[in-house]
């Protein structure tokens, strides 16, 4: 029979890390208890805020207040967690507050698992209601009719340019822009068959454009079929043999597809900008952006006359695009993004002057600038 010999020094060395770990975990447990109490107190205040908002018919989601809260969190953060982590925590806290204040419905381009769906969750959190809609135009219509409080629509991609369906819908509806979201986009080829068996690939036209070089080098015979959304593409690929889709990782999980090739976008720094649309825009924050829509007479220098106004008033334009006027051949609507809020004095004066050179000028919305990529 052999007896185990315990050496006091070794025992102390072995026990010490375990005891220290246990003590630290007790500290974590104590802090968690305090956090739960504080979060509950915060929620109670949110309930009272909700009552006041309903009495005054104030929207539940207020973009300029959201920016103020997140800016404050950034200033208070001394580490070691990065701002991005704290933003995610506070977005869920605000999402829970929305639920307590008043039910809120967000329309997005469905079905479930689309890039728009992912962007909506990153923006509004898990506690609000989401409605998957069949196309971008339907999002505008549901918001315009009041069936959805807000909608999220893709407006441009850093590699593929503007999204035509969204631009056209702004021309034809009366919704306003109240916020923006920038999200990193990674495209994945997914299917339930080997790559050699793929005969057709489903995805959005914009997605095909963002993966054009990869597709040309990898598939010569497979047919590319455009559909309304990447998650719809994943649905079809799951239902049809010999079919694949280009979609998000989440879509692959939802529809039971295997990712055959990941990150197939031609440009690695691939970012899509989404706009949040509603019935009102945002109040000034001091760091804002405005988007306008206008048309000009079909004459030499008409567009230059409008753009010169922004130079005169020292306004920085960040984007300009155009869409054809469907009622008049060879005439166009122009979209311009610029820094500043419509209530800023120089912006107000510039828009008054610009109107003199336009057949029509509409302010689509002023909203806080987004500085982070989700």
DSSP assignment letter at 197: G
Q: What does the DSSP 8-state code read for residue 329?
A: T
Domain count, the chain: 3
Q: Based on the domain organization, do 252 and 306 belong to the same domain?
A: no
Both 215 and 145 in one domain: the answer is no
Residue 54 lies inside a defined structural domain of this protein: no
Residues 181, 196 within the same domain: no
CATH label of the domain that carries residue 227:
3.40.190.10
21 domain residue, yes or no? no
Domain boundary (200, 232, 261) is at 261
Question: Residue 342 maps to which CATH number?
Answer: 3.30.70.260
Task: Specify whether 152 is located in the same domain as 211.
Answer: no
Helices (H), the chain: 8-55, 63-76, 83-101, 115-124, 136-145, 164-172, 205-210, 212-218, 230-239, 249-255, 302-312, 345-355
Sequence-ordered list of residues with C-beta below 8 angstroms from that of 6, at least 6 positions apart, any chain: none
Q: Is 17 inside a domain boundary?
A: no
Give ∠ CA 111-167-244 in degrees, rounded to 5: 35
Does 23 map to a domain?
Answer: no
pLDDT reading at 4 higher than 90: no
- Based on the domain organization, do 161 and 238 belong to the same domain? no
Write the pLDDT tens digit of every residue in 317-346.
Answer: 999 999 998 888 888 999 999 999 999 999
The range of the structural domain enclosing residue 321 comes to: 281-368
3-class SS of residue 229:
coil
Please indicate, yes or no, whether residues 140 and 164 belong to a single structural domain of this protein: yes
Name the pLDDT band for 3 (thresholds 50, 70, 90). low
> Residue 319: in which H helix or E strand, if any?
strand 317-324
In a domain, 96, yes or no: no
Scanning the structure block, which residue is given the tokens 């850093």?
A: 158
How many residues are given for the chain?
374
Give the C-alpha separation, 4 to 1, whole Å: 10
- Tokens 């900008």 map to which residue? 273
**Do residues 254 and 309 both lie within one domain?**
no
Average pLDDT over the chain, rounded to whole? 92
8-22, 233-247, 249-263: which range is least confident on average? 8-22
133 neighbors 142 (Cβ within 8 angstroms): yes
Q: For strand 200-203 and strand 243-247, is the pairing parallel, antiparallel, or unpaired? A: parallel
Six-digit token string for 147:
């069936």
SS3 label, residue 132? strand
pLDDT in tens, 88-117: 999 999 999 998 988 899 999 999 999 999
CB 100 within 8 A of CB 50: yes
Task: Establish if 61 belongs to a structural domain.
Answer: no
CA angle at residue 316 from 314 to 319, to 5 degrees? 150
82 domain-assigned: no
Tokens representing residue 239 in the block: 């239902």
Smallest CA-to-CA distance from 260 within 210, 229, 217, 218 is with 218
Is 305 within a domain? yes
Query: Region 236-256: what's the mean pLDDT?
Result: 95
Identify the pLDDT of residue 244: 97
- The whole-number average pLDDT for the span 142-149 is 96
pLDDT digits (tens, 9 = 90+) for 272-289: 999 999 998 899 999 999
| Angle, CA of 160, 165 and 168, to the nearest 5° | 120
Kindly report the three-state secondary structure assignment for every residue of 70-126.
Answer: HHHHHHHCCCCCCHHHHHHHHHHHHHHHHHHHCCCEEEEECCCCCHHHHHHHHHHCC
| Locus of tokens 């605000």 | 94
Residue after which a domain boundary falls, among 243, 275, 307? 275
Same domain, 322 and 361: yes
């Amino acid at each position: 029979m052999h007896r185990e010999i315990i050496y006091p020094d070794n025992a102390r060395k072995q026990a010490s890390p375990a005891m220290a770990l246990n003590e630290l975990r007790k500290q974590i447990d104590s802090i968690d208890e305090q956090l739960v109490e504080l979060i509950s107190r915060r929620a109670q205040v949110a309930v009272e805020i909700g009552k006041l908002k309903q009495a005054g018919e104030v929207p539940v989601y207020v973009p300029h207040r959201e920016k103020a809260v997140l800016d404050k969190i950034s200033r208070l953060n001394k580490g070691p967690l990065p701002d991005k982590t704290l933003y995610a925590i506070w977005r869920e806290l605000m999402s829970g507050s929305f639920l307590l204040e008043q039910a809120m419905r967000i329309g997005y381009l469905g079905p479930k698992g689309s890039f728009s769906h992912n962007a909506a969750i990153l923006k509004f959190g898990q506690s609000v209601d989401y409605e998957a809609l069949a196309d971008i135009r339907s999002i505008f219509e549901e918001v315009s009719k009041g069936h959805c409080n807000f909608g999220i629509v893709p407006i441009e991609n850093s590699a593929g340019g503007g999204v035509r369906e969204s631009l056209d819908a702004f021309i034809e509806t009366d919704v306003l822009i109240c916020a923006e979201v920038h999200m990193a986009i990674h495209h994945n080829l997914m299917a339930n068959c080997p790559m050699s068996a793929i005969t057709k690939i489903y995805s959005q036209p914009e997605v095909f454009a963002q993966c054009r070089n990869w597709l040309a080098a990898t598939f010569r015979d497979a047919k590319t079929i455009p559909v309304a959304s990447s998650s719809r593409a994943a649905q079809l690929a799951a239902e049809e043999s010999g079919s694949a889709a280009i979609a998000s990782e989440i879509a692959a999980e939802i529809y039971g597809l295997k990712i055959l090739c990941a990150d197939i976008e031609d440009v690695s720094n691939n970012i899509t900008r989404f706009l949040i649309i509603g019935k009102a825009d945002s109040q000034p924050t001091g760091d804002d952006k405005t988007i306008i829509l206008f048309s000009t007479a079909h004459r030499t220098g008409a567009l230059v006359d409008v753009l010169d106004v922004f130079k005169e008033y020292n306004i920085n334009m960040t984007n300009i695009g155009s869409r054809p006027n469907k009622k008049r051949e060879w005439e166009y609507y122009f979209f311009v993004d610029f820094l500043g809020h419509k209530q800023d004095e120089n912006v107000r004066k510039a828009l008054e002057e610009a109107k003199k050179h336009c057949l029509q000028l509409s302010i689509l919305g002023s909203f806080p600038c987004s500085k982070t990529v989700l």
